[in-house]
Amino acid sequence: MAEDISWKTSNFRQSVVNKINEAIQETGMTSSRNGIEIENHVFLNARNKDEYLGFVARLILRIRDMNAAQYRMDW
């Protein structure tokens, strides 16, 4: 069975960068790293599409959790 390499295309990766940037913007957080740098780090550490998407999903959830925690602290 051939490996799915669609996750390695620039279009696919750019869509992931956009999702990361969107999550950061929704939280109102500032980050010393932008979506491109974050996605590139994830991409370089992933061995396959499933691992890549898992890393990205956990990353976005972590960003949102950090925002929720900050919101609770502000109350």
Cα distance between residue 55 and residue 43, in whole Å: 9
pLDDT of residue 28: 79
Q: How many percent of the chain have pLDDT more than 90? A: 63
pLDDT at 55 over 80: yes
Structure tokens given for 50: 């499933």
Locate the domains of the chain by residue range.
Answer: 32-74
Name the pTM for this structure.
Answer: 0.82
DSSP, residue by residue, 23-45: HHHHHT---SS-HHHHHHHHHHH
